[in-house]
Structure 1
């Protein structure tokens, strides 16, 4: 493309043809407009280049965004799938633990119930034994061995008790002592502080 300087410096051969004065006048009038058009054309080219550079830059950004979007979608899907899998595993583990805890609690409850029933049965057994022992003691107190007649009392307080009175006086304490010893032996054989069952019942009342 001709520059304004080329137009201004252009010369023509003289001779027959166009008038030199007319040509020079035309070129002189054409020069400013051509210079303006040339300058605007160059400016437009620069602007087009800038726009092309910007477009190329935006295209690069677009490609990067597309890659990032694809990566984000892939990562999001993988994250969601991983979260669902982890949630399923956690839910399953929690369910298994809950079932195990519930089973242990039920087993412990059954053991406590069985132990309670056993202790109640033992308590009823000991209560029956105590009742029988108390009844035996009452029967012993109501027996003839513990009856003292007024005549025997008069005999006891006499200065010189007879042989029969002395025998009655001696037999009564011996019989009572023997009965007391027998009752104590029976209680010792029936209950013992070292008995595990007695210790279990004692621990219940201590609580």
Structure 2
């Protein structure tokens, strides 16, 4: 039976036609992997004027970047105070700010580059199915509210109206979050990176990474990406 992906079938963004890497191509930065993280890295570097080449072993997207649930969430399941306890106050608060601001960065990229990925900014619900989970949501809500985050603790009737069941009594609504079609988003990042000047190559697996004095070389089956001599 042929395996199909709903995101691929409903993506409004057509796949890019990209060629494998052939021969040697110099680059200031080589990015291995054409998922959301790799493509975002290539895009931001290209916009800064950095010469970047990205190689991907399969198509764009392949794997989780095109097949995840499509949630654009803020922060982690870990309460922000617990992150401070693990990382220290300065680094911990920096991590909380980055994690909490992540959805805004994603939606800003989508708007700036006109990525048609069925994005919504209606928030996300974090549910508790038992007393322990409910108390954990209370902790997370209090800690995020203390940091000025737009979160809302829903209880009883307010909760049931949102989730549609009486089995869940308490939920945390995070207004920073939203959803998107991950296949379309990944394809949109690839298109934006290419337009910004990044060189993208699919069906090009990295077979070795080696240092050459102060420089480096990424080798593939049919070519390589050496850093240019400065």
Q: Could you tell me the TM-score, scaled by structure 1's length?
A: 0.15
Q: Could you tell me the TM-score, scaled by structure 2's length?
A: 0.14
Higher strand share: 2
Say which structure, 1 or 2, has more relative contact order (CA 8 Å, 6+ apart).
2
